[in-house]
């Protein structure tokens, strides 16, 4: 990770102040003075003013019911209230993604940088469930289908994993975390958002947490988060239950075309008749038995597609 990010997660300073420390030449990596943009790799030794900087060993994950009006940042000159004022202090504590100032609901904070990367990377498709109240009221099924198919925004196509019409709005399942993405999508389709609440991140739900309250996740819940983040695509265990929702469909598998009247299954060739040996009676075979055996062997050698002449008994060519 970048050096300023390492310092921030170690609890030394915010990213902006970490950059000032780096510019002043007070930070080194492996006894070499580091500059802006330097990268810290596994095994590197980072020092500030000669003192070694270590990442926190204790990893915690906090679920917070973020109130409206709080900014998701460590320091902001223009922010009146910060989410970190609501939770206990831990070195390296940071938010898993962000919720904008006007959005409420579930916000995860952790000291585990690896978990943050897994949960926020778009390729892992970790679902986030939102409930939106819209000025236009209930969002119809056709508009929900449009949200699933995709809405073109200024920074590219945005699409929901699922959309479910609700009274006074809609419930959306998203996989990305672009800035104000849900609000921009709904405004684009003619339903500006009046209120937006995030209900779940992967398998972790807001539940009964009151506004402004927080709790530590259990080890079992953290394992569930890792499991959902490790999936390449959205799995059933991580997908919120929405029986009436309009969801994205996976492309159907390609089928091999067959010409009319033909089957893809090759017919098995008929097995040739097998000659059954007849045990000699009393150890001596009679002349009539020898003649019968020869006729059967001759028929077997000719095969099923050869005919014999009715008078001469010779095989005809076919």
- Which residues are known to be catalytic? 100
Question: In 3-state terms, what secondary structure has residue 136?
Answer: coil
Phi/psi for 136 (5° steps) reads -80, 0
Q: What would the two tokens of residue 309 be? A: 């002449």
Three-state secondary structure string covering 182-249: HHHHHHHCCCCEEEEEEEEECCEECCCCCCCCEEECCHHHHHHHHHHHHCCCCCCCCCCCCCCCEECC
Give dist(CA 283, CA 118) in Å, integer.
83
Taking a C-beta distance cutoff of 8 angstroms, is the pair 101, 70 a contact? yes
Phi, psi dihedral angles at 62 (to 5 degrees):
-115, 135
């Amino acid at each position: 990770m970048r050096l300023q990010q390492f310092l921030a997660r170690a609890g030394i300073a915010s990213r902006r102040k970490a950059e000032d420390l780096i510019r002043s030449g007070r930070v080194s990596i492996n006894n070499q003075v580091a500059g802006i943009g330097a990268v810290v790799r596994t095994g590197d030794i980072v020092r500030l003013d000669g003192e070694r900087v270590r990442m926190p060993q204790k990893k915690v994950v906090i679920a917070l019911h973020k109130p409206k009006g709080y900014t998701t940042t460590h320091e902001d000159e223009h922010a009146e209230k910060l989410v970190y004022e609501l939770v206990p202090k831990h070195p390296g504590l940071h938010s898993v993604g962000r919720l904008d100032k006007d959005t409420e609901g579930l916000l995860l904070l952790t000291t585990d940088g690896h978990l943050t990367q897994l949960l926020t990377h778009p390729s892992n498709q970790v679902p986030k469930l939102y409930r939106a109240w819209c000025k236009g009221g209930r969002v119809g099924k056709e508009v929900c289908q449009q949200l699933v198919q995709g809405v073109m925004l200024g920074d590219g196509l945005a699409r929901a994993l699922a959309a479910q019409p609700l009274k006074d709005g809609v419930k959306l399942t998203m996989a990305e975390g672009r800035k104000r993405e849900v609000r921009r999508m709904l405004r684009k389709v003619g339903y500006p958002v009046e209120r937006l609440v995030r209900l779940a991140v992967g398998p972790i739900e807001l539940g009964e947490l009151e506004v402004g309250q927080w709790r530590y996740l259990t080890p079992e819940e953290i394992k569930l988060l890792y499991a959902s983040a490790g999936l390449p695509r959205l799995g059933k265990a991580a997908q919120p239950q929405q029986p009436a929702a309009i969801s994205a469909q996976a492309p159907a598998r390609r089928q091999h075309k067959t010409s009319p009247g033909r089957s893809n299954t090759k017919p098995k060739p008929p097995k040739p008749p097998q000659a059954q040996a007849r045990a000699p009676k009393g150890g001596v075979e009679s002349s009539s038995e020898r003649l019968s055996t020869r006729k059967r062997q001759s028929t077997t050698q000719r095969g099923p597609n050869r005919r014999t002449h009715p008078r001469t008994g010779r095989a005809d060519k076919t």
